[in-house]
Structure 1
Amino acid sequence: MTRQAITGARIFDGAEWHDRMALVIEDGKVEGLIAADSPTDAIRVPADGAMIVPGFLDLQINGGGGALLNETPTVEAIRTICTTFAQFGTTACLPTIVTDSVPVNEATIAAGIAAVEQGVPGFLGLHLEGPHLAVSRKGAHDPKLIRPMDESDLQRIVEARRRLPNLLITVAAETVGLEQISRLAAAGVTVSIGHSDGTYAQVKAAAEAGATMVTHLFNAQSQIGNREPGVVGAALDLPSLSAGLIADGIHVHPASIGIALRAKRGPGRIFLVTDAMSITGTDWTEFELTGQMAYRKDGALRLADGTLAGADLTMVDAIRYMHGTVGLSLDEVLRMASLYPAQALRIEATYGHLQRGARADFAILADDLAVRSTWIGGEKRFG
């Protein structure tokens, strides 16, 4: 692959900003930073007046561009999702399936394996959000499809992990056994607690068994109370847990976001997810989700009864919201969209930053955060 030097832009490498430097990439990886005026045999690619930032990682993305995995569990749908969100700076994602039947889960896993074999740009693995959840916190998931995890389910997930680079599964702390969580974690599956009415003690036990994340913090889970901290309290208090956050101004109040960020004990972090649906990136006004109609209105996606059904959100929009409304520094918000999800998935050695040896996954942004171009593995995929 041609050696290139991206010049003329401020560079955020995931830790700090660099001025008057060039980003040198070769063979799909970051070679390093050099002074912008240094002699080099690399082909210079101008990015005048822009920002170069690590590509965004989205660990919960149900659909986009008209494709929804639950409705069309195919490699073509995965490709559409990855291509659609590359327009918005996302360079790696976990296409996500919500609670569905065994055949749809099997078809989704088969599609994910095919996406790996075909080298779909931006495909990082799969997120299975259900069906082993709590009906009391079902959200938009079909309660008729929610069920306990049996041995065949566990074996299917373990086998899928052997053939996928990453596999994330959302389960309820009170409905999936600790031994099951332990076996999944031992097999390399990332276990996240979500759609759960679990107690603090139940989430703590799940974390000790191997769970490392909480799905869409504050939404579809037990809240903090004076005598029972619930899933939210456990997510913030337990250092080993990271948590996804839907920052669209609808799912979580900005004050609650600020409180959570100040309260979170590390090393686990709060990171951004979109929870986007097929309608994102289209001009549609409605879509179908596991047999239920959902409607787009006032920036939200809701079922007929008003239940939120995912989000109409891109990662760059979430970044704007966190920076402009919640008031976080831009560098910290960028880490929430890149480095922190990479750390949550334990792939930060090569993803989520632009330091030497990292994948050459990055976005070039204008001052207003509009995405000028998106690069995946050193190749321009948008712009």
Structure 2
Amino acid sequence: MACQLLRGARIFDGNRFHEQTALLIRDGVVIRLVKAGEELPQDTQIIELAGGILSPGFIDAQVNGGGGVMLNDGPSPEIMCTIAAGHRPYGTTSLLPTLITDTGAVTAQAMAAAVAAIAEDKGVAGLHLEGPHLAPAKKGAHLAELMRPVEDADIKAMIATAQKIGCLLVTMAAEQVTPAQVRELAEGGVIISIGHSDSSYDMAMERFDAGARGVTHLFNAMSQFGHRAPNLVGAALDHPSVWGGIIADGHHVEPAALRVALRAKRGQGRLFFVTDAMSLVGSKRDRFRLNGRIIYRVQGGYCPKLVLEDRITLAGSDLDMASAIRYGMAMLDLSAEEALRMATSYPAEFLRLGDRGVLAPQKRADMVWLDDACHVRATWIAGQRQDQQS
């Protein structure tokens, strides 16, 4: 296949901006960044971009639904690819379909479906199991009656799945898993994230030291920071190797709390954006059904919010990744570079997706073209331009 040169936009490579620079790709991978005047291969096709930003495609570690469907509706490769297609117009080129707490049979179905969905290479990069090993005290919109501790059979199934698909993220409460179990899972290739937990600081730190790599939606559905009991929020911010997803929609966490957390996070672990999106992303509908309960879309604030019938309990989000980036710059004092890192190179590093998240030689040519206000104009997966739906 001929080389393609994308030029005319500022290049963000996943770490910093490059001015007066173009991107050379071939066969779905990045060849190199090209400065004006550099010699090109003779077969190069020129693609003109009228300004804006060319960035690595966004990576979302927590996506419950999109395109009008939820993964829990019936986990299948088709559902997973539909969710990925629903988020693509908002710049997401890699995501982890997320199964919230369900039965063992549905969980096994999701594990099997992920193998085929990833092979299709349409934006599904792995699988996120958010449950059933959560704490009923912090159930949120999950069904408490299905929550339970981790068992030996779970460990075997998760490790086997991680070896097949390469990227398996599992959210579990510190109360439902022992440090020894965390260590076994981590050594088997499973990425453990602590969430939906009423954990103490010490309990959380023991799981982090044993190999738990992150926390799920920092601040939400977890024990909060206190000056004498730092709890899970404090442990997540204090442990140097721990990463944390944040839902930057103006509903899940007050912006002041996120600004404090961003300044407080120490170590190599970083905070990064997740959407925790439900099926309504990109839809005009105002409700959907989840585990027999109706979830309502309520207008107001930076973007709509999703709630249970009590109109108080949050039930996922109506957020897309491009909106999270814009919110980060507008409300969280983030530079454009840092906001983009939180949707590209940071989640790639957390998920150990070493072939994407940056525009560098031999990396996947997964890209998003943004206007100067960070609205999406086009996306590419492995060098192939995708049809946009918004």
TM category (shorter chain) comes to over 0.9
2:343 matched residue in structure 1: 337
- Following TM superposition, by how much is the alpha carbon of 1:291 offset from its aligned partner in structure 2, in angstroms? 1.8
1:111 corresponds to which letter in structure 2?
A: A
**Structure 1 counterpart of 2:48, from 43, 46, 49:** 46
Do residues 317 (structure 1) and 318 (structure 2) align?
Answer: no
1:65 matched residue in structure 2: 67
Residues 255-274 of structure 1 aligned to structure 2 (within 5 Å): 255-274=256-275
5+ unaligned residues in a row in structure 2: which ranges? none
More deviation, 25-34/194-203: 25-34
2:23 corresponds to which letter in structure 1?
A: L
2:117 matched residue in structure 1: 115
Deviations 1:230-260 (A, max 9, x none): 1100010000100000000000111001100
- Following TM superposition, by how much is the alpha carbon of 1:38 offset from its aligned partner in structure 2, in angstroms? 3.5
1:32 matched residue in structure 2: 32
More deviation, 149-158/31-40: 31-40
2:163 matched residue in structure 1: 162
Runs of 4+ residues deviating >4 angstroms: none
Do residues 382 (structure 1) and 383 (structure 2) align?
Answer: no
2:15 matched residue in structure 1: 15
Deviations 1:143-162 (A, max 9, x none): 11111121222211111112
- Following TM superposition, by how much is the alpha carbon of 1:350 offset from its aligned partner in structure 2, in angstroms? 2.2
Given that 1:375 and 1:382 are in contact with CA atoms closer than 8 Å, whether structure 2 keeps it comes out as no
Residues 298-317 of structure 1 aligned to structure 2 (within 5 Å): 298=299, 299-305=304-310, 306-317=312-323
Separation in 1 of the partners of 2:36 and 2:50? 12
Do residues 372 (structure 1) and 377 (structure 2) align?
Answer: yes
**What SS does structure 2 have at the residue aligned with 1:24?**
strand
5+ unaligned residues in a row in structure 1: which ranges? none
- Following TM superposition, by how much is the alpha carbon of 1:37 offset from its aligned partner in structure 2, in angstroms? 4.2
Separation in 1 of the partners of 2:355 and 2:151? 35
1:252 matched residue in structure 2: 253
**What SS does structure 2 have at the residue aligned with 1:109?**
helix
1:94 matched residue in structure 2: 96
**What SS does structure 2 have at the residue aligned with 1:53?**
strand
Alignment RMSD: 1.1
Separation in 2 of the partners of 1:329 and 1:116? 33
Given that 1:30 and 1:358 are in contact with CA atoms closer than 8 Å, whether structure 2 keeps it comes out as yes
Separation in 2 of the partners of 1:134 and 1:292? 20
Given that 2:15 and 2:345 are in contact with CA atoms closer than 8 Å, whether structure 1 keeps it comes out as no
- Following TM superposition, by how much is the alpha carbon of 1:324 offset from its aligned partner in structure 2, in angstroms? 1.2
Given that 2:87 and 2:281 are in contact with CA atoms closer than 8 Å, whether structure 1 keeps it comes out as no
1:29 corresponds to which letter in structure 2?
A: V
Separation in 2 of the partners of 1:339 and 1:259? 22
Separation in 1 of the partners of 2:233 and 2:289? 29
**What SS does structure 2 have at the residue aligned with 1:216?**
coil
2:221 corresponds to which letter in structure 1?
A: A
**Structure 2 counterpart of 1:105, from 107, 129, 154:** 107
Separation in 1 of the partners of 2:75 and 2:273? 24
Give the length in aligned residue pairs.
Answer: 381
**Structure 1 counterpart of 2:79, from 77, 80, 105:** 77
**What SS does structure 1 have at the residue aligned with 2:121?**
coil
Separation in 1 of the partners of 2:97 and 2:37? 41
1:374 corresponds to which letter in structure 2?
A: T
1:38 corresponds to which letter in structure 2?
A: E
1:332 corresponds to which letter in structure 2?
A: E
2:289 matched residue in structure 1: 288
- Following TM superposition, by how much is the alpha carbon of 1:21 offset from its aligned partner in structure 2, in angstroms? 1.3
More deviation, 53-62/352-361: 352-361
Deviations 1:165-195 (A, max 9, x none): 2000000011211121111101100000000
**What SS does structure 2 have at the residue aligned with 1:382?**
coil
Separation in 1 of the partners of 2:350 and 2:45? 35
1:66 corresponds to which letter in structure 2?
A: G
1:52 corresponds to which letter in structure 2?
A: L
Separation in 1 of the partners of 2:127 and 2:282? 20
**What SS does structure 2 have at the residue aligned with 1:86?**
helix
Given that 1:276 and 1:311 are in contact with CA atoms closer than 8 Å, whether structure 2 keeps it comes out as yes
Percent identity of equivalent pairs:
47
Separation in 2 of the partners of 1:27 and 1:57? 21
**What SS does structure 2 have at the residue aligned with 1:240?**
coil
Given that 2:278 and 2:317 are in contact with CA atoms closer than 8 Å, whether structure 1 keeps it comes out as yes
Deviations 1:63-105 (A, max 9, x none): 0011111112111111111111111111111000000001110
- Following TM superposition, by how much is the alpha carbon of 1:327 offset from its aligned partner in structure 2, in angstroms? 2.0
Separation in 2 of the partners of 1:3 and 1:175? 51
Q: Please, what TM-score do these two structures have when normalized by structure 1?
A: 0.97
**What SS does structure 1 have at the residue aligned with 2:23?**
strand
Deviations 1:28-75 (A, max 9, x none): 111111124434231000112121011110000000011111112111
**What SS does structure 2 have at the residue aligned with 1:354?**
coil
Do residues 218 (structure 1) and 223 (structure 2) align?
Answer: no
